[in-house]
């Protein structure tokens, strides 16, 4: 019984810390221009606090009687549900921030470079006699540039036709990025 009391005390402490993490997340979510690094850190702290609480809850559930178990699980579930809603909102915000950051990183200068290069590079159909000249141009104008890898691959695919295009359509973009970066 002393062990169960100790677990209950430790769980009460963990339950006291989790609302503080929830409040921190709510505060950061209210600020439309909150620093994504601060939000990521607050989510990390929240996750750790929730994991501690979950571990203690599991231990408590093993130590209390059947009669008290249902009420205890119900109370903890209500407590978790409200905390998880705030965590989900933070995850959405972080996902939106990373998507906006990725989109913003493709500058207008990069877009105009791609547009101007389109005029300079011929299409490649897969004819091996044309490969060397095609690749030298593509390498000099696109592959050696500071464009994002995803932009380079998309641009390459826009220049391919016929059999050459068919070969690259089966490649996953993530695989392409891994191969290019090796």
Q: What is the pLDDT of residues 88-103, one digit of tens each?
A: 888 888 887 544 444 4
User: How does 23-52 read in b/e, with b if 16+ C-beta sit within 10 Å?
Assistant: ebbeebbeeeebeeeebeebbeebeebbeb
> Domain spans of the chain?
2-105, 108-181
Give how far Cα 175 sits from Cα of 35, 56, 59, 65, 168, Å.
Answer: 31, 42, 43, 53, 11
User: Measuring CA to CA, how many Å separate 110 from each of 13, 97, 122?
Assistant: 53, 21, 20
Strand partners, 160: 124
The predicted pLDDT at position 138 comes to: 82
CATH code for the structural domain at 2-105: 1.20.58
pLDDT for 97 equals: 57
In terms of pLDDT, which residue wins out, 61 or 177? 61
> What percent of the chain stands above pLDDT 70?
76
Summarize the confidence of residues 2-27 as an average pLDDT.
86
Decide: residue 9, CB within 10 A, 0-12 exposed, 13-18 middle, 19+ buried. Answer: exposed
pLDDT for res 67: 79
Top pLDDT among 100 and 160 is at 160
The count of residues in the chain is 182
Rounded distance, CA 66 to CA 73, Å?
Answer: 11
In the structure encoding, which two tokens stand for residue 15, read together?
């339950």
């Amino acid at each position: 019984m002393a062990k169960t009391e100790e677990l209950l005390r430790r769980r009460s402490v963990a339950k006291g810390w989790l609302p503080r993490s929830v409040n921190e997340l709510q505060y950061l979510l209210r600020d439309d221009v909150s620093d994504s690094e601060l939000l990521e850190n607050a989510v990390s702290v929240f996750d750790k606090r929730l994991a501690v609480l979950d571990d203690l809850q599991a231990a408590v559930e093993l130590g209390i009687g059947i009669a008290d178990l249902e009420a205890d699980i119900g109370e903890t579930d209500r407590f978790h549900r409200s905390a998880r809603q705030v965590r989900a909102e933070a995850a959405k915000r972080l996902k939106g921030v990373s998507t906006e950051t990725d989109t913003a990183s493709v500058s207008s200068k990069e877009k105009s470079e791609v547009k101007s290069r389109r005029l300079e590079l011929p299409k490649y159909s897969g004819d091996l006699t044309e490969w060397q000249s095609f690749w030298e141009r593509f390498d000099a104008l696109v592959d050696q540039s500071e464009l994002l890898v995803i932009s380079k691959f998309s641009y390459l695919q826009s220049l391919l036709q016929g059999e050459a295009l068919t070969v690259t359509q089966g490649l996953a973009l993530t695989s392409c990025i891994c191969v290019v970066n090796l």
